[in-house]
Amino acid sequence: MKKILLTVMFALAIIAGVFVCQPAYAESYSPWNIDVTITYNGDRYVYNLQDNIGQFDDESAQRGFYLGKRGKAELYRNLIADGLPVEAVCEYMLPNFSQITACFKNVVKERKDATLSFDNSGFTYVKGQDGVSIDCEKLFYAMVNTGGRKTVIKLPLLVDKAVSVADLKKVTVLKGKFTTSYPSSGANRCYNIARATNSIGGITVGVGETFSFNNVVGPRNEQNGYKQAKVIMDGLYTDGVGGGVCQVSTTLYNALLLANFIPKASQHSLVSSYVKAGFDAMVSYGVADLTFVNDTAHPVYIKGEIKNKSVTFYIYGEPNKYRVERENEEQRDKFLTREIVDKVKYPELVYTDQTKVVVAGSDGVKTKSYLKYYDGDTLVETKLIRTNSYKRVDCIIARGEVERMFDGDDK
């Protein structure tokens, strides 16, 4: 009976409001205050707003010291909206906030992007470093939202991702390459090809820049180190300084086509033996150039290689959208061969079996040159890029006119 009476009295007391059920810690904090321990990797900083108000207590209304978390958040937003810096607002509303950031200054790291260097031997990459800074705004809200309760907060960070080596490798892929050979070329022509190739190899063409073959290679003259070799002039092969350089420009031209560029180039008067008709690129300093504009979003890198009497150019940069193939249509007018006898010009040719090629024959060719763009195995586009007409040159062979006489023993 006594227990029942006590139970009823307790219930009535609750109804009457004599007892109020509250948490045990209800009186241990003030909702306007901030009492936090901020940690990161073993380092700690204890911050209590009440301990830091001090001399600024008479500014409490403006600074919102005694506002609750919603009031503080609203004041913060208003000050930021006025254009004030985040750290300045945090310091204004939470005096000595800057001491928190100073405590964790070793966490802060400057962003350093990965870098690359390029020469004719290839690429060298240097690793970068992500930037790290303290997320002051996130820290402010984390502190304010504690509502005065003792709380442990992990220091919030902002990471500014640096350009990585992997990122750089994604935009330094092989876009296109092309090779031509010159197995029968003499020493001077081989030398000229190597010299011009080495001038170009290792070149970087920046975004929006124009590459000029003539500007890079320079004049093809003896002062610039070039030698006498066969060149095409006025529709004929003749000796000239710098012979072979056009094979370099032609090889580069085709590598650029396969790398998804369409350079500006001039044709030879005769078809070239080392490339399809309609895909040559004649250069002559001050007269004809090979140029292209890097219209991609990243630099373009050119590597040249001489190996086993062949020249190869490699073009690196951002990946191509499509795979590129070359194709041409030809109409050929076959050259004729005729023989001449000229004892004045060729006195060494006495007998009919003694001959000399005076003019090498070259077919007359009319061409249309196309680029075909493939997405996988699907042909996306066919683009006509050139129409050309090459001169026909008949082969002329000089010989002697005397028939050799043989006796029976010589049969």
Last residue of some domain: 166, 195, 211? 166
Residue 268 placed within a domain? yes
Residues 239 and 294 in one domain: yes
Residue 372 placed within a domain? yes
> Using CA atoms, how far apart are residues 71 and 100, in angstroms rounded to an integer?
23
What's the Cα-to-Cα distance from 374 to each of 171, 172, 296, rounded to whole Å?
20, 21, 19
Residues 258 and 147 in one domain: no
Last residue of some domain: 166, 193, 217? 166
For the CA atoms of 19, 25, 26, 28, the dihedral, rounded to the nearest 10 degrees, stands at 130
What's the Cα-to-Cα distance from 341 to each of 124, 400, 405, rounded to whole Å?
62, 6, 19
Residues 196 and 329 in one domain: yes
Residues 154 and 262 in one domain: no
Residues 281 and 330 in one domain: yes
Element (H, E) at 46: strand 43-48
Q: Which stretches of the chain drop beneath a pLDDT of 70?
A: 1-28, 232-238, 406-411
Residues 382 and 313 in one domain: yes
Residue 120 placed within a domain? yes
pTM score, whole prediction: 0.80
Residues 208 and 258 in one domain: yes
Residue 411 placed within a domain? no
Residue 409 placed within a domain? no
> Using CA atoms, how far apart are residues 183 and 206, in angstroms rounded to an integer?
35
Look up the domain containing 275 and give its range. 171-399
| Parallel/antiparallel/unpaired status of strands 300-306 and 310-317 | antiparallel
pLDDT reported for residue 87: 97
Residues 277 and 392 in one domain: yes
Residue 407 placed within a domain? no
| Total domains in the fold of the chain | 2
Residue 113 placed within a domain? yes
What's the Cα-to-Cα distance from 192 to each of 87, 126, 312, 373, rounded to whole Å?
64, 35, 15, 34
pLDDT reported for residue 28: 65
